[in-house]
């Protein structure tokens, strides 16, 4: 019984420390449901049953298998891709990362992670591969060199059952 109480107190301390750090750094959660396109930006495609994986440059396995759990939401606009996932005990989908297609959109957010609350990557919209990964329909994006090196992301994989409509909606 004593060890359970110690465990509960440790969990409570972790939550309190996280709240303090978030209030000091200004970190807050951003949700897909609250997403509103900026002026001149339009939503071209959305999938609420997609999957997304960030493949690291360093520290990855030699052989990977990507599960299709259909738990991510992916929104494609003419300027960026926004990827979110449902968080534990929350009904909304929290933004995990954003892929900007131009340097101007990428620079609108601060360079550090904490105030934004999600990862911001930059990729070239022409460096895209619509194909398969492990026999599953997949979009593969390569981040630009500066974004890849800063975030340790070699590629971004987005799995969807509707790859052809994504290809048709892809901005050129």
Q: Distance between CA 114 and CA 63 in Å, rounded?
A: 32
Q: What is the pLDDT of residues 98-122, one digit of tens each?
A: 998 887 666 655 444 445 678 888 8
Q: What are phi and psi of 102, to 5 degrees?
A: -135, 160
For residue 45, what pLDDT band results from cuts at 50, 70 and 90? very high
Residue 2's contacts (CB-CB under 8 Å, 6 or more residues apart) are: none
Q: Distance between CA 166 and CA 45 in Å, rounded?
A: 7
For residue 65, what pLDDT band results from cuts at 50, 70 and 90? confident
> Using an 8 Å Cβ cutoff, are 82 and 74 in contact?
yes
Report residue 42 CA to chain centroid gap: 19
């Amino acid at each position: 019984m004593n060890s359970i109480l110690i465990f509960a107190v440790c969990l409570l301390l972790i939550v309190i420390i996280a709240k303090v750090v978030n209030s000091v750094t200004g970190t807050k959660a951003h949700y897909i449901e609250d997403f509103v396109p900026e002026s001149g930006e339009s939503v071209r495609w959305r999938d609420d049953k997609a999957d997304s994986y960030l493949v690291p440059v360093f520290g990855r396995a030699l052989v990977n298998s990507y599960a299709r759990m259909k738990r991510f939401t992916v929104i494609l606009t003419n300027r960026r891709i926004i990827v979110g996932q449902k968080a534990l005990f929350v009904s909304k989908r929290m933004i995990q990362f954003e892929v900007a297609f131009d340097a101007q959109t990428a620079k609108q957010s601060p360079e550090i992670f904490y105030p934004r609350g999600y990862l911001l990557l930059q990729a070239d919209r022409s460096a895209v591969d619509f194909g398969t990964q492990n026999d599953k329909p997949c979009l593969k994006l390569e981040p630009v060199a500066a974004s890849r090196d800063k975030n340790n992301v070699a590629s971004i994989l987005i799995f969807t059952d509707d790859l052809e409509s994504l290809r048709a909606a892809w901005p050129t």
